[in-house]
């Protein structure tokens, strides 16, 4: 399992998750990889809105405290909603890139190397295209009354 983040400025850091992620590991990843990504991209935390789903580790008291202490605004996510997170498209994009390689990874280490290589190649204009699609995604979701959309 891996954790990664994106911003308008391109992909952030990719973090290899050891074992099952819990709230403690999640906040550690946020401290290292998320804040590190903001620093790498020279983005101030007051200028962002963090998006995540309602996974229990994301909504835990520990995570909520971490976001509050770090003054990170978190987008409120409805409890029952179709997945409108553009990050899912990024994971799909990476999956297709890895599967298109002449030699597929044969073990976890090779997969991690392939993930890092492809992650580093993500074009920020592809990510910006996803960001620009958000208003259309929301509009489609409203028109479908919360049911299936083409996104």
List the domains of the chain with CATH numbers.
2-143 (3.30.420.10)
Handedness of CA 75, 80, 86, 91 (dihedral sign): positive
Report the alpha-carbon distance of residue 65 to residue 103 in Å, rounded. Answer: 44
- Among all chains, which residue has been given the structure tokens 């890139």? 97
**pLDDT of amino acid 81:** 61
Task: Name residues whose C-beta falls within 8 Å of residue 121's C-beta, 6 or more positions apart in sequence.
Answer: 97
**pLDDT of amino acid 124:** 92
Q: What is the pLDDT along the chain (151 residues), one digit of tens a residue?
A: 999 999 999 999 999 998 999 999 999 999 999 999 999 999 998 889 999 988 999 999 999 999 999 999 998 877 666 567 899 999 999 999 999 999 999 999 999 999 999 999 999 999 999 999 988 888 887 888 777 777 7
What's the whole-model pTM score? Answer: 0.87
């Amino acid at each position: 399992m891996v954790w990664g983040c994106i911003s308008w400025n391109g992909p952030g850091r990719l973090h290899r998750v050891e074992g099952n992620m819990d709230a403690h590991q999640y906040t550690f990843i946020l401290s290292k990889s998320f804040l590190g990504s903001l620093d790498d991209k020279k983005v101030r935390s007051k200028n962002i809105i963090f998006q995540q789903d309602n996974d229990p580790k994301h909504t835990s008291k520990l995570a909520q405290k971490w976001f509050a202490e770090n003054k990170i605004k978190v987008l409120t996510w409805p409890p029952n909603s179709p997945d409108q997170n553009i990050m899912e498209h990024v994971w799909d994009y990476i999956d297709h890139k890895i599967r298109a390689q002449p030699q597929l990874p044969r073990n976890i280490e090779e997969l991690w190397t392939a993930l890092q290589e492809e992650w580093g190649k993500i074009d920020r204009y592809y990510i910006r295209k996803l960001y620009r699609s958000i208003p259309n995604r929301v509009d489609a979701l409203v028109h479908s009354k919360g049911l299936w959309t083409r996104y």
